[in-house]
Amino acid sequence: MECILIQQKSKNDSIFRTLQELTQDKQTLDNCFSQSISIYDSIANLLLKLGDIREHPVDSSSEMQLEFIDSSGNNQSLFLTLAFTGDKRYSSSLRGAEISGSSLTADDLISAAMANNDIPTLIFKLKQRWLSFLPLLSAITEVMESNAVDWIQEKGLLRVLLGKRAVMCTLHIPPGYPLTGQIALIDMQGTLSDHSCADLKPSNPNCSLKDWLLYLEDWINTQDAV
């Protein structure tokens, strides 16, 4: 277990460093679009500088699909499809954009890009959000393998059935977890205990999501045995 935690911490530290490097290099990325070259070539330059994004072939000459690759080894991918008003090799007007392949939400980024016709900021900020989201996605995927889970991403809520009594526990997972923030238990339904949710937390509040659930399950089963 300790070895697994060390490996996960190393992955998270690597993602955090990458996010810092992206922020520091924003001006350089903006310069990709200040040159007198086509929008298609400008995007190609941007992808080269950002790394871990590749273009996928599509049938339409007015569309471009980009795959954001998970380099941490969890085999996750995010796809961004850009639709232009004309041929993507010459058009500079964004007609639409959508993401697929992941539960990541980015409606706000797409709306801003459409309003300002700002493709580089969309790609840049989407990669930042994707990198921040990957550790959480990995944690959620891990607990789904052994628990009945309802993940309400837009509210940062995780509902899970735990213990022999099948107690419904609701946890709040803050944006950016596990890189930043801590998990908090906010509701339990089905337990006979009158303990406050705020009083229930592992000895290490920064432990993994899986360890959080193991702690709660042990606590619930102990209460049932009393």
Instruction: Specify the pLDDT at position 36.
Output: 43
127 and 172 in a single domain? The answer is: no
157 and 121 in a single domain? The answer is: no
Which residues, including other chains, have CB under 8 Å from residue 147's CB and lie 6 or more apart? 160, 161, 162, 213
Phi, psi (rounded to 5 degrees) for 172: -100, 125
C-alpha dihedral (191, 198, 152, 9), degrees to nearest 10: -120
156 and 184 in a single domain? The answer is: yes
Q: What span, in angstroms and rounded, lies between the C-alpha atoms of 145 and 23? A: 35
Per-residue pLDDT of the chain (226 residues), as tens digits, is 444 334 444 555 554 455 455 554 555 555 555 544 567 777 877 887 788 888 888 898 889 999 998 876 667 789 999 998 887 777 668 899 999 987 788 899 999 999 998 888 899 899 988 888 888 888 888 888 888 899 988 888 999 999 888 889 999 998 778 777 889 999 998 876 677 888 888 988 788 898 999 999 998 888 765 5
pTM value is: 0.68
C-beta of residue 165 within 8 angstroms of C-beta of residue 191:
yes
Q: What span, in angstroms and rounded, lies between the C-alpha atoms of 70 and 72? A: 6
The answer to the question of residue 112 being in a domain is: yes
The answer to the question of residue 63 being in a domain is: yes
Beta bridge partners of 63: 83
The DSSP secondary-structure symbol of 150 reads: E
121 and 150 in a single domain? The answer is: no
The answer to the question of residue 82 being in a domain is: yes
The answer to the question of residue 92 being in a domain is: yes
Number of domains in the chain: 2
Burial class (CB in 10 A: 0-12, 13-18, 19+), 204: exposed
- H helices within 81-207, ranges in order? 107-116, 119-144
26 and 101 in a single domain? The answer is: yes
C-beta of residue 38 within 8 angstroms of C-beta of residue 27:
no
Collapsed DSSP state (helix, strand, coil) of residue 74: coil
Q: What span, in angstroms and rounded, lies between the C-alpha atoms of 76 and 178? A: 17
127 and 154 in a single domain? The answer is: no
Collapsed DSSP state (helix, strand, coil) of residue 202: coil
109 and 208 in a single domain? The answer is: no
C-beta of residue 220 within 8 angstroms of C-beta of residue 167:
yes
Angle between helices 119-144 and 2-24 (to 10 degrees): 170
CA 118 and chain centroid, separation: 22
The answer to the question of residue 140 being in a domain is: no
130 and 169 in a single domain? The answer is: no
> Which range marks the domain in which residue 54 is found?
2-134
